[in-house]
Amino acid sequence: MHRRFGWAGKDGIDGFTTAYGWDIRGWPGLDTLVAIREITGLSPYIRTAQAKPFSGRQLAYRLRTLQAGDTTARWESPPPE
């Protein structure tokens, strides 16, 4: 869930699930949902990889981590423009 960017932390997710009333961490479809999110997270970098050095580096890095099955690798958000 928050494995790529590390934003929420356990306390943040616990608070969210309490407020929402359902904990997605126990849902059998979670891994599929996370995989879809990660694949769609490539699209902005695919479109801008040639024009923006950060996008090219981040795309290559994200693809390497996905191909290696590395679920602990942190991904960077794009810098502000």
Q: Per the domain annotation, does 76 fall within a domain?
A: no
Mean pLDDT of 24-46: 91
Give the span between the Cα atoms of 20 and 56, in whole angstroms: 37
Q: Per the domain annotation, does 64 fall within a domain?
A: yes
Give the span between the Cα atoms of 18 and 13, in whole angstroms: 9
Tokens linked to 76: 């960077």
Count the residues in the chain: 81
Q: Per the domain annotation, does 78 fall within a domain?
A: no
Q: Per the domain annotation, does 80 fall within a domain?
A: no
Question: Quick one: pLDDT at residue 10?
Answer: 77
Question: Quick one: pLDDT at residue 67?
Answer: 96
**Does 34 have pLDDT greater than 60?**
yes
Domain limits for position 57: 28-70
Q: Are 44 and 52 in contact, with CB atoms under 8 Å apart?
A: no
Give the span between the Cα atoms of 48 and 53, in whole angstroms: 9
For the whole model, what pTM was predicted?
0.76
- pLDDT-above-90 percentage for the chain: 51
Q: Per the domain annotation, does 53 fall within a domain?
A: yes
- The domain tally of the chain equals 1
